Structures are given as structure tokens and as C-alpha cells.
């Protein structure tokens, strides 16, 4: 009997050692990683005997499943077994502070998940497929490491909120799904509420305010969201970055909450986990709501201002095109004419009615109400208006127009030939002179 007591198992050792499970459980996760990827390496020795596609499929399936299992166990096994055995309450009575114990357990869990489910699979995948394979990519590897760390931390949070390893493992994916759905609902609510607010209260009645809001577009967050929703080349990477940005406040809150739950005595009930999850879901909802509300508000302002620019450019081109045709019929000597054109917003609406693309919107029609528009030949053709035929069998007319809005704002937009005559597109620019300002500001140039 004494010999049996002298040869304790790993489980009893962990009960006697306050930090036994903390270091033994992540080590077990690393051992699982080593066994799983060793099997894949042995399969790689038969690479030339089997189908390449089948081997890649096996690596992906086995690698993803085993990696997710390792990441989840690395985050939940240590603390979950301590809560199950009752040693966690004993640890809280030790002279070592609860904060230091929480830091050690969290860091060891993240380290085990990072190595066992992140670095090791990437190294073995590079050895099996080579560095030039699509599965071995820098951007894909970075995203994979972020996913592994996130999954490991979520499992650690579940171990803090639930009582026992099994319950913690079973709560990992419901927590991820709940927080993710809250973020998605927040994004949708932010987009729809801002659209309804703009349609109901018309905050862009002032052109100057609309221009100031539209200038917020070049910031980093707006570009990331825009790339995630429109840019097909970097859509996955941008979407991942946006999701990470949205979840940063949620993750910070979850870290603080995990420390509070680590110190508390957890009740063995589902309602207690749901009660702990609600603040996280609310934070994710608010983050998604605020970010997409900001993006939608700025995007609406940009669309309003762009519609003013292009909603005046195309009607002016159409008027010059019709005028050139009429001049060609009446006088072959001077087909284009040199006199300036005096137009109004009504003239533009008649020349280009709403069914056409980039027609005037309600905001642009309001801004152009009682406006005076003076159209002159562009600088490259001072002797008269010039229209050129494009390779697509359409006609483009070059001009320089000054739009005097009713509030005293002056817009100067011009469409001139490109520097290289072989370029099919010309140079379009818009400048604004605000009432009382010393000079002009550039609003658009392309």
C-alpha cells in the first residue's frame, strides 16, 4: 500500500501540486499535436504512391480537426479539471495572488495553443507541401495563428465561466456563435438605422456638412470596411481585419471578465454561463453597430456629394454633345462655338432625366435649386468646346464649369484631356470655394 502511495498518478500529482495541471494539461495538448502531425508525416512518406488531391484533402481534414481539438483542450483542460476536482478553490487560498495564478494559466494555455495548434502544423505543412504551395502562405498562416489564439482564449474563458472541462468544451462553439451573431446583428442594425435616419431627417441638407463627413472616408477603418465589402482581391484578409477590429473591445472585456470569473465560485448551471455571455454579446453588438453606422453614414455622405459631381458632369456633356451636333448641321466653319453657356439646375434635369445612371438625387436637386452654372471651354481648347470620339463609339466633351450654389458656395469642375494623348480617359477635377474662405479646396481629382 505504501508503494502505491509513493507512485502517484498524474492526476493525484496535479492535486498535490498547485500548478500541476496548469503545466501538465498544455503539455498533453502538445503531445496530441505531436501524435496527430506525426501521423500526417508518415502519410507524407507515401506521397508518391497515392493521389495528390486525396493526400491534400486528408491533411486539411485531419489537420483542421486535430488543431481545433488541441486549441480547445489547451485553453480549457487545465482550469476545467481543477474546478472538477475541487483544487481550484484550494488554490485561491494560497499566498500566491489570484491575479498571478490567472496570468500563468492564461499564458500557458495561449502558449500551448500557439505552439501545438499553430506553429507546429505550419512547420509540418511546409515540410510536406513545400513553401510554394497555396496551403503554406504568409497571410494564410497569420490568419491561422489568430484563429488558433482566439479559439484557445475562448476555451479558457469557457473554463472560467463553466464548471468542468466537459462543460467548458461544449460551450466553446455556442459562445463563438452567440458573439458572432450579436456582431452581425449589430452591423445590420447600424446600417439600416442610419439609412432610415438619413431618409427621415435629411442630415445632409448642407453641402458643406456633407462634404466634411465624406472626407472621413480616407481613414483606415473606412478603407478596411470598404475593402471587405467591395474589393474582391483582398476581401478575405480585409474581412478578417474588420472582424478583428470589431472584436477587440469585446476581447478586452472578455479578458477582464475571465479574471473576475476565475476568482468566483461558479454555479453548475447553464443560466450562469448565459448570464456571463450576455455582456460579451452586448459589447459585440455595440461594436458592430457603431462601426457599420459610421461606415454607412460616411458612405451616404460620399454618395450624395459624388452624385452632385457626376450628376452635373454627364448632363453638361450631353448638352455640349447636342450643341456640337446642332452646330455641325448649321455651320461647318465653327462646329463647337466659343461662347460660354449659362445653365440652371432645371436645364441639367431636362438634359439627363432620372432613369439614367448618375442622375440627380434629391439632395443634388436641392443643392442645385436657384444655382447658376457657367460652362466655358477647357484650358486645352481655349478657342471653343471640343468633343472627341472614344474607342467605345461614344463622344466625350471637355469643358470647365463653375457652379454658383444658392448659399454662396462656388464649385469649379473641369474635364480636360489626359496628359498622354493615347489615354482614353481625361482628367476630371472638382474644387470648392466656401463663402468667406481665402482660396479653393480640392474635393475630387481623377
Give me the DSSP letters along 114-150: HIIIIIHHHHHHHHHH-TTSTTS-HHHHHHHHHHHHH
Please give the mean pLDDT across all residues of the chain. 76
Band (pLDDT 50/70/90 cuts) for residue 262 is very high
pLDDT for the residue numbered 244 = 67
With H, G, I as helix, E, B as strand and everything else as coil, classify residue 319: helix
Other C-beta atoms closer than 10 Å to the C-beta of 125 total 23
pTM, whole model, 2 decimals? 0.73
**Which SS3 state, helix, strand or coil, does residue 207 take?**
helix
On whether the CB atoms of residues 245 and 228 are closer than 8 A, the answer is no
Residue range 34-93, pLDDT digits in tens: 666 666 666 665 554 444 666 667 667 777 777 888 889 889 888 888 888 888 888 888
Determine the distance from the C-alpha atom of residue 379 to the mean position of all C-alpha atoms in its chain, rounded to a whole number: 42
Task: Give the domain ranges of the chain.
Answer: 8-161, 314-445
Which of 127-141, 266-280, 302-316, 391-405 has the highest average model confidence (pLDDT)? 266-280
- Which residues, in sequence order, are CB contacts of 438 under 8 Å at separation 6+? none
What's the distance, CA 36 to chain centroid? Answer: 34
SS3 content of the chain, % helix, strand, coil (to 5): 65, 10, 25
Comparing CA positions, the residue from 252, 390, 365 lying closest to residue 312 is 365
434 grid coordinates: 466656401
Q: What angle do CA 50, 56, 61 make, to 5 degrees?
A: 120
Return the C-alpha cell found at 158.
469557457
* Location of C-alpha cell 469642375: 413
Predicted pLDDT at 193: 94
Residue closest to 321 by CA, chosen among 401, 418, 400, 395: 395
- Any bridge partners for residue 374, and if so which? 342, 402
Alpha carbons 398 and 17: distance in angstroms, whole number: 83
Whether the Cβ atoms of residue 205 and residue 299 lie closer than 8 Å to each other: no
The C-alpha atoms of residue 387 and residue 397 are separated, in whole angstroms, by: 4
Mean pLDDT score, 95-121: 88
Q: Residue for cell digits 462646329?
A: 335
Amino acid at each position: 500500500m505504501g508503494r502505491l502511495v509513493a507512485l502517484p498518478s498524474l492526476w493525484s500529482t496535479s492535486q498535490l501540486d498547485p500548478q500541476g495541471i496548469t503545466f501538465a494539461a498544455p503539455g498533453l495538448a502538445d503531445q496530441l499535436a505531436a501524435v496527430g502531425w506525426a501521423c500526417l508525416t508518415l502519410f507524407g512518406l507515401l506521397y508518391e504512391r497515392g493521389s495528390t488531391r486525396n493526400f491534400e484533402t486528408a491533411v486539411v481534414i485531419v489537420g483542421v480537426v486535430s488543431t481545433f481539438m488541441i486549441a480547445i483542450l489547451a485553453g480549457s483542460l487545465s482550469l476545467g479539471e481543477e474546478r472538477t476536482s475541487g483544487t481550484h478553490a484550494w488554490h485561491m487560498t494560497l499566498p500566491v495572488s489570484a491575479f498571478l495564478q490567472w496570468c500563468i494559466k492564461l499564458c500557458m494555455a495561449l502558449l500551448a495553443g500557439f505552439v501545438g495548434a499553430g506553429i507546429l502544423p505550419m512547420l509540418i505543412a511546409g515540410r510536406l507541401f513545400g513553401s510554394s504551395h497555396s496551403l503554406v502562405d504568409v497571410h494564410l498562416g497569420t490568419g491561422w495563428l489568430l484563429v488558433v489564439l482566439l479559439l484557445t482564449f475562448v476555451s479558457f474563458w469557457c473554463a472560467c465561466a463553466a464548471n468542468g472541462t466537459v462543460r467548458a468544451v461544449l460551450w466553446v462553439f455556442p459562445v463563438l456563435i452567440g458573439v458572432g451573431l450579436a456582431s452581425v446583428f449589430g452591423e445590420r442594425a447600424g446600417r439600416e438605422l442610419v439609412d432610415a435616419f438619413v431618409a427621415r431627417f435629411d442630415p445632409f441638407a448642407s453641402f458643406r456638412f456633407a462634404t466634411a463627413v465624406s472626407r472621413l472616408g480616407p481613414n483606415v477603418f473606412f478603407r478596411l470596411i470598404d475593402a471587405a465589402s467591395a474589393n474582391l482581391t483582398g476581401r478575405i484578409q480585409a474581412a478578417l481585419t474588420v472582424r478583428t477590429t470589431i472584436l477587440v473591445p469585446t476581447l478586452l472585456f472578455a479578458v477582464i471578465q475571465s479574471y473576475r470569473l476565475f476568482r468566483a465560485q461558479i454555479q453548475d448551471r447553464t443560466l450562469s454561463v448565459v448570464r456571463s455571455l450576455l455582456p460579451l454579446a452586448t459589447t459585440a453588438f455595440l461594436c458592430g453597430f457603431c462601426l457599420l453606422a459610421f461606415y454607412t453614414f460616411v458612405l451616404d455622405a460620399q454618395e450624395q456629394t459624388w452624385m452632385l459631381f457626376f450628376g452635373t458632369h454627364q448632363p453638361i456633356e450631353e448638352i455640349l454633345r447636342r450643341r456640337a451636333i446642332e452646330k455641325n448641321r448649321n455651320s461647318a466653319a465653327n462646329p463647337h462655338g466659343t461662347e460660354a453657356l449659362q445653365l440652371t439646375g432645371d436645364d441639367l434635369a431636362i438634359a439627363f432625366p432620372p432613369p439614367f445612371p448618375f442622375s440627380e438625387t434629391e439632395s443634388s436637386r436641392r443643392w442645385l435649386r436657384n444655382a447658376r452654372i457657367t460652362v466655358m471651354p477647357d484650358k486645352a481648347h481655349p478657342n471653343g468646346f471640343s468633343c472627341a470620339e472614344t474607342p467605345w463609339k461614344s463622344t466625350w466633351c471637355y469643358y470647365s464649369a463653375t457652379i454658383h450654389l444658392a448659399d454662396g458656395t462656388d464649385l469649379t469642375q473641369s474635364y480636360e484631356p489626359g496628359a498622354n494623348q493615347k489615354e482614353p480617359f481625361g482628367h476630371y477635377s472638382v474644387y470648392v470655394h466656401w463663402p468667406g474662405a481665402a482660396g479653393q479646396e480640392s474635393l475630387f481629382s481623377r
